[in-house]
Amino acid sequence: MTIRVYNTMTRSKEEFVPREPEKVAMYVCGPTVYNHIHIGNARTFLTFDIIRRYLSWRGFDVTFVQNVTDVDDKIIKRAAEEGLSAAEVAETYTREFRLAMEALDILRPSRQPLATETIPQMIHMVERLIAGGHAYEVDGDVYFSVRSFAGYGKLSGRDIDDLESGARVDVDERKQDPLDFALWKTAKPGEPRWPSPWGEGRPGWHLECSVMSEEELGLPFDIHGGASDLIFPHHENELAQSEAATGEMFVKYWMHGGLLQVNAEKMSKSLGNFMLLKDVLEAYPTPVVRLFMMQTHYRSPLEFSTDRLDEAATAYERITGPLRDLEVAKRSRARERAEAGAGDGAWATRLAKAVEDAKVRFVEEMDDDFNTAGGLAVVFGLVREMNAFIWEGPGVGAHGEHLPLLERAATAIKEPLEVLGIEITLQPVRVSEYPAEVFQLAADYAGYTGVVGTEAVDALRKARDVVRSEKNWAVADAMRDRLQALGFTVEDKPDGSHITYGR
RNA sequence: GGCGACGUCGCCAAGUGGCAAGGCAGAGGCCUGCAAAGCCUUUAUCCCCGGUUCGAAUCCGGGCGUCGCCUCCA
């Protein structure tokens, strides 16, 4: 079975054959660090985190390089607004970016060079382009000549003449062609600057991507990723720079993720309709946010809303349900029956088959251009089978003899989620998050006078079990109502009652 | 205006030639002291019109609608 990926260059799914067997070299455009990243930015980084994790899981040795663009017009603008230096702004948001990635459980890149650390290489690339007749200097600025590169437009499917007739590009008489773009800019007063053969200045277009990818990965590397709004002009220019400078093929597979939308409109900082990743993660656990994103294919647009996130939270609980039930069953031998039933063998056969099928089908789905939505459907199917086995079927069996099978089922649910980086949390409760009112309840019903949240809840559970055993339903129900009002969930299962918070 | 993507159940969403996954929400049933959880059942002539094919959500043509890019943008 081979992996197939959608290549923007050819607009079709292609068999994935890396340049070296068993090894994948990938590059994903990182952020320009002038602000916190928003949840739309995060979607793209998450997409390529999944792709990276999956390829690793499938046995490839993945080298993952991501730049940080820490010199740029927007950073300079932001610095001016805040009365800081550009370097200070960049440093702050580089740090924030890394923290946010960590909070989203995104694996760290193998290498993450800063643009400002690769200035000499960028200058060298500009020199190479000038020497090859692909760039020219005007008064300390250097421009790339789009007409000098025959392949210009091949990634985005555009034609230079069509683009010029669109003519929303600034007309600058110093350029030989309106579409020519700046590789090096003369520094204005107060701007960051580095010495160069064309005077003091700074990099223009995203040379850092061209330079870093060549330096860290070599050409052509396997996968270049980014969001679809980067196809033109960002990646088109990057491709032109690199191929014109080196004369080699730049990238084997161009992969682009779909945009996150709000009210059917692209989420973007310029439209002002964005939510910061860090704010979303304050309201929703990381696994829920990841699950939410993965329920849609990475190339499709995805509508962002808290309703959708709430639904994903419910779906997440559905997945963790049987895993939690199994843990409880292991400890308490709940769902253990007096004797084996006549149909137990058929149940076991069916679950065992479901487990094997799920493993195969997950790989099939993911091999097909990283279809996480399809892969999750497989997981949900297994969740249903496992639930049925526990609650309708033999459970753990008469003497726990079905525990190994249930463990295998649990593993078959957990492994795909691990591949997708969705952490399984069976104990979602942090004591500090309990509402303070729970102590009053515990005092009223259980005589508990301590200050430890878990103890208070446990005392309530025991007190309620006593009341229930006395069939004093009025009190038992009142306790449940009051707990639910505080945000707790009370479930009376065959092995006793469970009180959880935050579900 | 040019280039590109998309339109599948109430909502979200897989599926790119062979009987339409999955999640959320709803209805009925089972289980339960009542709930919750869980299980079972239940709802799709796949935007419209033509065409190709034994067979199309899937391919082709034409509409209608939505979104993205063409300026910084994940």
Burial of A170 (0-12, 13-18, 19+ CB in 10 A): exposed
Q: Which residue is nearest to nucleotide B3 (CA to C1')?
A: A158
pLDDT value, residue A429? 45
Coil, strand, or helix at residue A2?
coil
Closest nucleotide to the alpha carbon of A38, via C1': B74
CB-based contact A294:A420 (threshold 8 Å): yes
Give the bases of strand B that a protein CB approaches within 7 Å. 1-6, 12-16, 21-25, 32-40, 66-74
> What is the CA A469 to C1' B31 distance in angstroms?
20
Break chain A into its structural domains and give their ranges: 18-283, 319-419, 431-501
What is the residue whose two structure tokens read 């600025």? A141
User: What percent of chain A shows pLDDT beyond 90?
Assistant: 67
Tell me what ipTM this predicted complex has: 0.94
Hey, which residues does A203 pair with through a beta bridge? A184
> What is the CA A38 to C1' B27 distance in angstroms?
40
pLDDT value, residue A396? 85
Closest nucleotide to the alpha carbon of A29, via C1': B74
Closest nucleotide to the alpha carbon of A232, via C1': B69
pLDDT value, residue A167? 54
> What is the CA A83 to C1' B66 distance in angstroms?
43
CA–CA distance, A48 with A255 (Å, rounded to integer)? 9
Q: Which residue is nearest to nucleotide B6 (CA to C1')?
A: A300
pLDDT value, residue A291? 96
Question: Residues of chain A whose pLDDT is less than 70?
Answer: 1, 165-172, 332-340, 427-433, 502-503
What is the residue whose two structure tokens read 């994935």? A16
Closest nucleotide to the alpha carbon of A376, via C1': B22
CATH of A319-419 given 2.60.120, 3.30.300, 1.10.1200, 1.20.120: 1.20.120
> What is the CA A368 to C1' B37 distance in angstroms?
35
Nearest to A276 by CA among A19, A3, A31, A5: A31
> What is the CA A464 to C1' B33 distance in angstroms?
14
Closest nucleotide to the alpha carbon of A291, via C1': B23
> What is the CA A11 to C1' B18 distance in angstroms?
26
CATH superfamily of A18-283: HUPs (3.40.50.620)
> What is the CA A189 to C1' B11 distance in angstroms?
55
CB-based contact A60:A22 (threshold 8 Å): yes
